[in-house]
Amino acid sequence: MPSVTTLCGSSPRRQGVESTALRRSMAGATCVLALRGEVTALALAEAEALGFQTDVRHGRLALGHRTDDLGVAAGIYAVLDGGDIHAWTSNEAFVASVVERWEPPKGRVCVRVERLGGRMKDSSTQTIARSLGGHLSDMACVIDLDRPEHVLRVVLDATSHHVGWGWDVPRTTREGVGARRAGERPFFRPVSLDPYLARTAVNLANGSRGGVLLDAMTGTGGFLIEGALTGQETVGMDLDPTMVDGAKANLEWAMDGRAHRASVVLGDATALASSLPASARGRITGLVLDPPYGRNSHGSHGPWDLLARVLASTTEVASPEGADCCLILPIAPITTADDGVVHDSTKVEPLHGSWEDVVALFEASAWSLRPERWSVRVHGSLARLILHATCAPPS
């Protein structure tokens, strides 16, 4: 019998700190990624920061070589081993191409077929699931819809008219995200970041780097919590003692007694050489920045001066191997490409200043701004611009 998947969340109180390893370790093997949401290009950049090597992308599907670290990615909906991506033609042709090259594992199996981005002409999830299920039965596989050991997942992507398939690799990232949304935490301020975006930023900045992640202006601890949940050594810092106490409370609430490697300190992000704990100095490999803006969050300097000072200060405490930075800036909503990319020609209007201020900021620093830019809409008058920069090791 066919089955269409619905993935459910569970309380973070029942989770362990997320393992960075996918349960079936096949690092380097070819796999299909089904990417979440509308900002597909950002989701893929996150996967690449975690070591995924992309061969090809079609809409919300990507084919490439995986690493064990993908288990912590926020932008991945499914990781599928041993499969492929095909241009859509028909139910029958698709089933024939799967059966030609699949290698069903031993044990209890089931088939799940689902759609991303709406309905694709002449496609039937039921026909595909029934047909693939029939072939599995013919091969003497045990079909078990309730407790399968292996799930053959098929993803019909209407955004690209392609279909991806493979054996599902279990992941935990989606679990508990709803329960740890900012409004659910003990300490809330309107500045709090969405956990998915915070997770993506943490992975972009420190994905496979392995040193210390610095959340230099931690506020309520949005990045800090995701760093802790992914098992990274993380330092959160804020100039405001109320934020420091609140971030600590949120961190302990999110971790619920489980061991972690995160801490929160009162300090000035423009003077990290003196305010960062000695154990983290010279070991920063990832910097995440969500600088103050608006009535709810006041910076210690003007917006560009503050950022310039924080970037300069971070180079003094960066690892000898260099560091990556993910900067999130509030901007007026803009039109992006279908995959969330902000084209070079698109006029970006930060809430404070101009795009030229951003360029000047990085040009005057030791950080190189990467060309890719992405945007996530917050509401009718606010969006977030996501930028990625790299600080080379000192020569």
Ligand X SMILES: C[S@@+](CC[C@H](N)C(=O)[O-])C[C@H]1O[C@@H](n2cnc3c(N)ncnc32)[C@H](O)[C@@H]1O
User: Which residues of this chain interact with ligand X, rule CB under 6 A?
Assistant: 191-193, 217, 219-220, 222-223, 237-240, 243, 268-270, 290-292, 297, 299-300, 306
DSSP category for residue 70: G
For ligand X, give the closer residue by CB, 32 or 205: 205
In degrees, rounded to 5, the angle at the alpha carbon of residue 380 between the alpha carbons of residues 378 and 302 is 65
For the bound state, the minimum distance from the C-beta of residue 59 to ligand X, rounded and expressed in Å, comes to 30
For ligand X, give the closer residue by CB, 1 or 271: 271
For the bound state, the minimum distance from the C-beta of residue 193 to ligand X, rounded and expressed in Å, comes to 4
For ligand X, give the closer residue by CB, 157 or 226: 226
Q: Going by C-beta distance under 8 Å and a sequence separation of 6 or more, which residues neighbour residue 276?
A: 214, 235, 237, 265, 267, 284, 317
| Distance, C-alpha 286 to centroid of its chain | 14
For ligand X, give the closer residue by CB, 297 or 368: 297
For the bound state, the minimum distance from the C-beta of residue 236 to ligand X, rounded and expressed in Å, comes to 9
Q: Going by C-beta distance under 8 Å and a sequence separation of 6 or more, which residues neighbour residue 27?
A: 66, 67, 68
In this structure, the strands spanning 234-238 and 262-266 are parallel
For the bound state, the minimum distance from the C-beta of residue 70 to ligand X, rounded and expressed in Å, comes to 24
For the bound state, the minimum distance from the C-beta of residue 231 to ligand X, rounded and expressed in Å, comes to 20
Contact 335, 349 (CB under 8 A): no
User: How far is it, in rounded angstroms, from Cα 107 to Cα 317?
Assistant: 51
For ligand X, give the closer residue by CB, 290 or 339: 290
For ligand X, give the closer residue by CB, 24 or 181: 181
User: How far is it, in rounded angstroms, from Cα 258 to Cα 84?
Assistant: 38
For the bound state, the minimum distance from the C-beta of residue 363 to ligand X, rounded and expressed in Å, comes to 22
For the bound state, the minimum distance from the C-beta of residue 47 to ligand X, rounded and expressed in Å, comes to 23
Q: What are phi and psi of 141, to 5 degrees?
A: -80, 150
User: How far is it, in rounded angstroms, from Cα 287 to Cα 313?
Assistant: 11
Q: Going by C-beta distance under 8 Å and a sequence separation of 6 or more, which residues neighbour residue 342?
A: 334, 336, 348, 373, 374, 375, 385
Of 200, 265, 199, the closest CA to residue 235 belongs to 265
For the bound state, the minimum distance from the C-beta of residue 154 to ligand X, rounded and expressed in Å, comes to 37
Contact 68, 20 (CB under 8 A): yes
For ligand X, give the closer residue by CB, 136 or 326: 326
For ligand X, give the closer residue by CB, 67 or 220: 220
